[in-house]
Structure 1
Amino acid sequence: MEKTKRQLFTNYYIKMKRMILGMQGTDGILFKLLIYGLLVGIGFVYIYPLIYMGSYSFKSLDDLLNPLVNWIPTQLYLENYKRAYEVLNFIPTLLETLYVAAIPAVAQTAVGAVVGYGLARFDFKGKKVIFILVLATFIIPPQVTLIPRYIFFNELNILGSLNAFLLPAAFGQGLNSAIFILIFYQFFRMVPKALEEAAQIDGAGHFRIFFTIALPMAVPGIIISFLFSFVWYWNETYLAAIYFGDSLTTLPLQLQKFVATYQQMFPAEMGLSGNKLNEGIKMAGTLLSILPLLIVYFITQRWFVEGVDRSGITGE
């Protein structure tokens, strides 16, 4: 009887242990709770600013001054977005931002694909040196080359135009171009050489192989390279302010001047608080400036995740 009870207790203990810790310690309830708790915590850290901005952007001045109103506004106040829309001059600035970000991103992605394919498929003298130079362009801080580039661009008379971004991107020297070259290098190395050899037997040249075999298999790499490049050009304010001056502007640049522009457009009068800039209007302007990027990400999320998975990018 005692042996039977002991056996039952042992079996129960083993079942509970397997349920909590799992078969290998990585599939039990305890492990899953730890992982999910960690993911929820990290996710909250990232999503908290968006929740904060979304909540405050719909608050009226009365809600902002009311200590009892914390997260949920008493009403859906859209006047903040109307003011922010006017201050940002949203539609013209959005079109100009797309112009500044999309064209260099396309050029940078195309050049990265060509250079990455060449490094992955051809052996030639100086290949290692080119690899070192490609990595050096990423390792060296852009502040080191800022003054020489500015002087060079001034001599070429391309300051104040998109060429200040487009020409470096077209020659593989855009924003973090080395990353995209390495992404395509990794993708094209995974393409089976047997496919290219079969195409060569059928009489296909290197250009035809590149466009008909290599590129279609590197679509996730193209998408992720374009998205990263597009976002980096979109968010670049330091170089854009130096190279473009007052000739071109972007939403992030307009957001930097948001307070000064608002005070100029809506001067506060004595005794009147309706025109004063508050936290709700600032948050509405910030959300409007990042809204296009959020829409692009939601549309391309599946391809973005697939590209990150296949390229092995972490933390970029």
Structure 2
Amino acid sequence: MKSELKIEIDKMKNSILTMFWSRRAQKVKLVVIGRNVSDGLIAKLLIYILLSIVAYLYLQPILYMVSTMLKPLSDLLDPTVRWIPRDITWENITKAYHGLQYPKALLVTSTLAITCSVASVIICSMTGYAMARLPVPFKWLFSGLIILTFLIPPQVIIIPLYVIFSKLGLLNSLFVFLIPALLGQGMKAALFIFIFMQFFKSQPASLEEAAKLDGASTVRLFVGIMLPLARSACLVVFLFSFIWYWNMYYEPSMFLTKGFTPLSIRLGMLEEVLNPTLLGNTRNIVNPITEGTKMAAAFMIILPPIIIFIILQRWFITGIERTGIVE
């Protein structure tokens, strides 16, 4: 009798232990694999590894830039020093500051990028609203022409533009880029028009109907109702336009070579400023003596857009999401 009772007790213990370990195994399985494949620890670990690799690929040039601009000449000439300098120097930053004529060039670049970006937002929003909501005759033709302006490379029309601006006396001035932006032909204007078209098409028609019943004109409807609703799209267009105008090099190298020179042009001329005795095309050579200064100059140029993006990142991402939503 006692042996049977002991056997039953052992069976109960074994069953309890089995249940306990099965529950633990189930919990471990849920943690490691998850209810869905994307919920588990393995999937998250793979995602973090992938994101770390992508982040490293994007941050590596900036890290190399910072490391190089802080190296003295002895570290630049020493092949054993790769990332971490033995001694930190600020001389490269000082030389880049004076070589770029940084305050003047920064003012020129900021003025060019901000004014042209604001003009692009205003004109492209008006054009996008007209193409999306108004009964424009031959709308299909205008849409095709807008796409055509986006497909034509700037190198094809750069010579006629240069001749026109030269005859008008607009070279080496802000108006070279401001006038096309005011006419809806700014940098990537076709893309911005389609962004606004997509946004305004997603708005319900009841807003327009209610405003028209209240006696609102088309201008008042756009300015008072539609444009405030398009703040996210305006922010996206402004940031994209600002970055493109800030970084552009080809067009300023043709139109802005004297006096009104932005940072991109000053960076291309930096090698000649640092070594005035060099002759010929020396802008793209790798000179270890001036490499740290050029990296410092490049970092000083990209720093303002990075700061602006960090500040406006949340609204920028929200705007990207909203411009693609169709209700």
Structure 2 equivalent of residue 245 of structure 1: 257
* C-alpha distance in structure 2 between counterparts of 1:160 and 1:62, whole Å: 40
Q: Which residue of 2 aligns with 1:191?
A: 203
What displacement does 1:15 show? 3.9
Q: Which residue of 2 aligns with 1:290?
A: 302
Deviation per CA, 1:132-155, whole angstroms, max 9, x where unpaired? Answer: 211121122222222333333334
Change (3 A) 1:172 1:189: same
Amino acid at match of 1:163: F
2:32 alignment counterpart: 20
- Give the TM-score normalised by the residue count of structure 1: 0.87
Give the AA of the match of 1:78: W
Identical residues among aligned pairs (%): 39
User: Could you report, residue by residue, the CA deviation over 1:20-66 in whole angstroms, capped at 9, with x for unpaired residues?
Assistant: 33222121111111111111110111111111111221222233345
Cross-structure match for 2:123: 111
Unaligned runs of 5+ in 2: 1-10, 279-287
Q: Which residue of 2 aligns with 1:259?
A: 271
Q: How far off its partner does 1:126 sit?
A: 1.1
Query: C-alpha separation between the residues in 1 aligned to 2:324 and 2:51?
Result: 20
Measured in 2, the distance between the counterparts of 1:12 and 1:105 equals 59
Q: 5+ residue gaps in structure 1?
A: 267-275
Whether the 8 Å CA contact 1:116–1:181 is kept in 2: the answer is: yes
Asked whether the 8 Å contact 2:257–2:265 carries over to 1, the reply is: no
Cα contact 1:63–1:73 (8 A) shared by 2: yes
Counterpart check, 1:139 vs 2:151: yes
Equivalent AA in structure 1 for residue 236 of structure 2:
I
Pairwise CA distance, 1:12: 5.2
Residue of 24, 36, 44 corresponding to 2:48: 36
Q: In the superposition, relative to structure 1, how do residues 285 and 265 fare at CA in structure 2: closer, same or farther (>3 Å)?
A: farther
Deviation at 1:68, TM superposition (A): 5.6
C-alpha separation in 1, matches of 2:274 and 2:163: 34
Q: Deviations over 1:194-228 (max 9, x none)?
A: 22222222222111111111111111111111111
Output the CA distance in 1 between the equivalents of 2:205 and 2:314.
28
Q: How does 1:134-283 map to 2 (within 5 A)?
A: 134-264=146-276, 277-283=289-295
* Structure 2 CA distance for aligned equivalents of residues 29 and 190 of structure 1: 39
Alpha carbon RMSD of aligned pairs, Å?
2.5
Q: Given the alignment, which residue of 109, 116, 125 partners 1:97?
A: 109
Q: Secondary structure at the match of 1:278?
A: helix
Paired with 1:74 and 1:26, the residues of 2 have a C-alpha distance of 45
